[in-house]
Amino acid sequence: MTSKVVYLGGLRTENTHLASGATYITDAPVDNHGKGEAFSPTDTVATGVANCMLTVMGIKARDLEVDLSGATAEVTKTMAANPRRISRVEVRVTLPGGVSERNRKVLEQTGRTCPVIMSLHEAIEKDITFHWQD
């Protein structure tokens, strides 16, 4: 088992990663009857794209002997109605400079094919951009 989710009432859940004991809360968004005081479940999916991208890029960077420390990603999630669903995930990744053009291409391809992106439905638009600081 990977995790345990407990419904706390008030459209809020507590999520526990069983191997580490780490927890986080989700809350329904304001536009869907919630308080919007924490990540919504769909926020966690969209944010998971950036988490996954930076993680697999970090693994590949280590293999390439490239340091990506300080890399950031800004995530924008767009919802659609009927049915209510994620329609678009935009991720803007900013990475440190001093990386060769060859390694940049390898790292960008690694990010674009991370397991979370590959698991999202094809109907979800994925807008991914990379900015290298030089």
The CATH number assigned to the domain holding 71 equals 3.30.300.20
Residues 58 and 105 in one domain: yes
Contact present, 52 and 117 (Cβ < 8 Å): yes
Write the CB contacts of 70 (distance below 8 Å, at least 6 apart in sequence). 96
Per the structure, the count of domains in the chain is 2
Burial class (CB in 10 A: 0-12, 13-18, 19+), 1: exposed
What tens-digit pLDDT sequence spans the chain (134 residues)? Answer: 999 999 999 999 999 999 999 999 999 999 999 999 999 999 999 999 999 999 999 999 999 999 999 999 999 999 999 999 999 999 999 999 999 999 999 999 999 999 999 999 999 999 999 999 98
pTM: 0.94
Question: Among residues 106, 8, 127, 4, which one has the least CA distance to residue 64?
Answer: 106
Q: Are residues 49 and 92 in the same domain?
A: yes
| Residues 89 and 46 occupy one common structural domain | yes
Give the Cα-Cα-Cα angle 115, 120, 124 (nearest 5 degrees).
Answer: 140
Same domain, 122 and 57: yes
Domain that holds residue 24: 3-32
Q: Are 12 and 23 in contact (CB under 8 A)?
A: no
